[in-house]
Amino acid sequence: MPNMHPERLRQLPYLVHTNRELGLMLRGIKPLAYFMDIIGQEPDICIRYWRMFDRHVTEGRLIRRELIETCPDAPQFEYRSLFYTLPGHEWQVDTMLALLNEPGAWSDDRERRFGELLGYESWQNDYWLTHGRSQADVSSTPPSSAIRLAKTRPEAACPNRWGQTAPPEAANLGGEQQWSEA
């Protein structure tokens, strides 16, 4: 399968988790995976990917938590926040939700906590904060606003962690916030 990540993500000295979440979780490396979509507008590839996770939920290897909320500015739409955790790590869902809903500007500290919850190592978070993010990432919509974006722009199915939408050709197995988790 070709690497669908942007060039700058392929240049990182570590592999991003996007499209690798399930394998990392089954090896016990990644404690939490997070996905968000507008219900009824999920790309088929995302639905197929979640079914792969759900097989392991049925077998007790993973825990699934799904939150469905109405989009405040578009009540005809609902969005889904979908979390998968390793058993014993269910607390990370509440911690992630609290982080995403913190008021104020997105900061390096919040970016670091986001990465930690998703299972990135300290050195990977350090590198990402120092070298990995592009200026567009730093100045764009933070993850906490991705939910607000999805609520107000339902066409933004599978937004990545900054509220950007992956082009259809980049939809490689869905993935955490689609194609640009780092």
Residue 27 counted as domain residue:
yes
Of 69 and 32, the structure prediction assigns the larger pLDDT to 32
Residue 103 counted as domain residue:
yes
Contact present, 3 and 10 (Cβ < 8 Å): yes
Indicate the SS3 state at residue 80. strand
Contact present, 54 and 101 (Cβ < 8 Å): no
Confidence of residue 68 (pLDDT cuts 50, 70, 90): very high
**pLDDT number for residue 82:** 95
User: Domain range holding 111?
Assistant: 7-170
Residue 175 counted as domain residue:
no
Classify residue 159 by its DSSP letter. B
Please state the domain count of the chain. 1
> Residue 55: pLDDT above 90?
yes
Residue 176 counted as domain residue:
no
Q: Which two tokens stand for residue 32?
A: 């939490």
pLDDT digits (tens, 9 = 90+) for 129-182: 988 765 545 544 444 344 444 433 434 433 333 333 333 223 333 334 433 333
Report the distance separating Cα 51 and Cα 126, nearest Å: 33
Cα 162 to chain centroid, rounded: 10
Residue 139 counted as domain residue:
yes
Residue 63 counted as domain residue:
yes
Residue 180 counted as domain residue:
no
pLDDT digits (tens, 9 = 90+) for 135-146: 545 544 444 344
Strand extents, DSSP E, 74-172: 74-85
Q: What is the mean pLDDT of the chain?
A: 76
* pTM listed for this prediction: 0.73
Nearest to 5 by CA among 156, 172, 141, 162: 172
Residue 41 counted as domain residue:
yes
> Residue 13: pLDDT above 90?
no
> Residue 59: pLDDT above 70?
yes
